[in-house]
Structure 1
Amino acid sequence: MHRLMIADSSDVVRKVGKRILSGLNFLVLEASSSLEALVRCEADLPNILIVDSTMDGALDLIANIRNLPQGKTVRIFYCVVEADLKKMMMGKRAGADDFLLKPFDRKILTTVFANLSIAA
């Protein structure tokens, strides 16, 4: 079972994401801040990390994860509100692998993550 962490300051986003992704057989962890996410990742690195771009320290979190031992193996999704090329490039430079557009729903998460769950 793949471990997936949702790092987002919104309780609602984390709760909805967890419900949907748990249904796809992910073990879903939550973090409400960049610092909490980093501490949890230092203790036990997830396979996949979803990072909200509006969270304080989001880009630093991505860069810090990449610098951890085995940090390059984590698939990081940078979650943006709109297709903002500048923000997306900043995420890519920090080390994000891919992007998610918010608000996401069951269809989006299932489309993006179903294949990753099967590969587990």
Structure 2
Amino acid sequence: MGKTIMTADDSASVRQMVSFTLKQSGYEVIEAVDGKDALQKLGGQKVDMLITDLNMPNLDGIGLIKGARAIPACKFIPIVMLTTESQDCKKQEGKAAGATGWIVKPFKPEQLLSVVKKVLG
């Protein structure tokens, strides 16, 4: 049984790319369109990892991370932010909220996979 990764991004093309890259490597993928959608889905099933965009409507990445960390099953899962923001203050904010890592867009599929493999062990 492969590991399940949730990807939350309001861009369909980014979700498709992340999803395609992960599925090719044998991961199960759950897609969410924004933080609110992701939190609802996280409440109903166990995921091994969360990859989230920072800037999203309804609930942004920081809000999603805080919300996910409040769910017992998600307290210790790796959460990686995938974003165009590369500013240190944003990284600090993400870390403070509970993010494990950071990938700056545009990203290469192999870059994403190496981070996923690293944090999932």
The verdict on how the C-alpha distance between 1:116 and 1:66 changes in structure 2, with shifts beyond 3 A counting, is closer
- Structure 2 unmatched ranges of 5 or more: none
Q: Return the TM-score normalized by structure 2.
A: 0.89
Runs of 4 or more off by more than 2 Å in structure 1?
113-117
Identify which range, 89-98 or 104-113, moves more after superposition: 104-113
| Shift, 1:77, TM fit | 0.3
Identical columns (%):
29
Cα displacement string for residues 6-51 of structure 1 (whole angstroms, at most 9, x for unaligned residues): 1000000000111111111110110001111000000013111011
Q: Return the TM-score normalized by structure 1.
A: 0.90
Counting only pairs closer than 5 Å after superposition, residues 1-120 of structure 1 correspond to structure 2 as 1-56=2-57, 57=59, 58-115=61-118, 119=121
Answer 1 or 2: higher relative contact order, Cα 8 Å, separation at least 6. 1
Q: CA RMSD in A?
A: 1.5
Q: What is the DSSP-based 3-state SS (H/G/I as helix, E as strand, rest coil) of the residue aligned with 1:54?
A: coil
How many residue pairs are counted as aligned between the two chains? 118
Matching residue's letter, 2:16: K
